Structure formats: structure tokens, C-alpha cells
Amino acid sequence: MDLGISGRKAIVCAASKGLGRASAMSLGREGVELVINSRTAADLEATAADIRKDSGATVTTVACDITTAEGQAKVLAACPNPDILVNNAGGPPPGDFRDWDRDDWIAAVDANMLTPIFLIKATVDGMIERKFGRIVNITSASVKSPIEILGLSNGARAGLTGFVAGLARKTVRHNVTINGLLPGPFDTDRLRTNIRAAAEKAGRDYDELFAERASANPAGRVGTAYEFGEACAFLCGAHAGFMTGQNLVMDGGAFNSSQ
């Protein structure tokens, strides 16, 4: 399917690895002009080269921390009028809420709630004026099914989701949609790091624990970043204009619900 977005401009945040990278790759294949960001310049350049090789897309890199005001300003300077915005950042660390102080909470809220909100604020009115906009917030399946040790993530992402629920219903009249894409387990550095930590804590073998987690999923496996990127690109496509304010779980069916 041609998603009808060739020539559109996109900002994809936190895109040198994992789900952000895959989303940028898929958008590149649709002929979208990309501005991609992450902190580690070498990884970001390598990803940009891979995308150019894969699809021939035009890719601009902005190496910075997207959770800072300076980082956001740099990315917006490289692409002041995006048609597509994919919000993403690293997730907060796991732990016990008794150990988290105000600074820990502020960092989580900054990264996973306020950063996407400020990037939306900076770009949504231009999208409304131009009568086209697609905003995808990469959050987590934990928005619908909280994971106890990820309290910082549960809290901050719930705040973003609540805010967007109202705005998404105001912008859709102008062909500007805002949706959440909620990953369950996907085979990325983040998942591998989490499983490695869990294996070390339990004195278990990493490969064995990974296989156990994958087999416990209804799909019998974890997701691939490619699958995630393609779903993200669809939400950014011209044909997805009647979908807004949704929180779409991609988890192989692990979230057990009839609705």
C-alpha cells in the first residue's frame, strides 16, 4: 500500500536504535524526508547511512538529548514545519517507588511526558494550518497494563496519554491526528538490557530467560522492530486520518482484554 506521504517531512526522536530507528526506516521507504535524533552521534550517523542506503531517503541528523529544551530547539530548527512527528525517548529506570525522590520523578516526567507535549506544542498549529499532521507517541503497553517495577514510566506516560486524549479530538477536524503506539516486548537493546538485568538478579541464564519470556507471549515470540516501524508508518499515512486519540497496543496479544 502506498501510504500517500511521499515528500512529507518528519521528525523522528530517539531514532538511532530500536523502535525509533525502525519507524524512521519505514517512513524513509515511504519517501518521507527525515530529521532523526539521538544523543550518540556515531550511532545516529550509522543509522542515517543505513536509511539512505535502504530507501534513498533524505536524512538530517541532530545529535542531542531530546529531553532538554536545547535539544528540542535544535531538532525544531532542523525541521521547523514537520508534517509528521514521532515522539520517543529512552524509558525511565525500573525500581521501587520508595527509592525515588523528586529529581527522579521530574526526570521521568520531563522525558516521557513534557518532551512530547512541548514538541507537539511547537508543531501542531503549523500542521493545523497546512491541513495535514500525524503525531505518534511511542509509549508503552504499560499505559494499559502497568508494570509494577516501572512506576516512573507508568506515571509519566499516563500523564502524556491523558493530555493527548483531549487534544487529539480538537486537531482531527484539521486532518491532524495524534495517537499512541504502545509496545509490548520488542527485540531491541532496551528489552535485552532489561532481561539481562532480570537474569542477573535471579541468577538465571540470559538466553533461557529470553526464550521463556518469548514463549510466554501469546504469539510465542517477541515483536520485531520492523513490525513496529511499519505500524508507525501506517499511523503516519494519509489514509489514517480518521484514527485519533487511540492507544494501540502491539504486544502479540499479551494484554488480556476483550476490547
Smallest distance, ligand NAP to C-beta of residue 33, A? 20
Query: Please, which residue, 19 or 240, has the CB nearer to ligand NAP?
Result: 19
In the chain, at which residue ranges do the beta strands (DSSP E only) sit? Answer: 9-12, 33-38, 59-63, 84-87, 133-138, 176-183, 247-250
- Spell out the alpha helix ranges (H) of 30-144: 41-55, 69-78, 102-109, 115-130
Query: Please, which residue, 232 or 240, has the CB nearer to ligand NAP?
Result: 232
Query: Please, which residue, 86 or 176, has the CB nearer to ligand NAP?
Result: 86
Distances (CA, A) of 46 to 21, 40, 41, 59, 61: 11, 10, 9, 11, 10
Interacting residue ranges for ligand NAP, rule: CB under 6 A: 14, 16-20, 37-40, 43, 65-67, 88-91, 138, 140-141, 183, 185-186, 188-191
Grid cell locating 79: 525541521
Smallest distance, ligand NAP to C-beta of residue 63, A? 8
Query: Please, which residue, 15 or 176, has the CB nearer to ligand NAP?
Result: 15
Spatial separation of the C-alpha atoms in residues 248 and 183, rounded to whole Å: 8
Smallest distance, ligand NAP to C-beta of residue 194, A? 8
Smallest distance, ligand NAP to C-beta of residue 258, A? 22
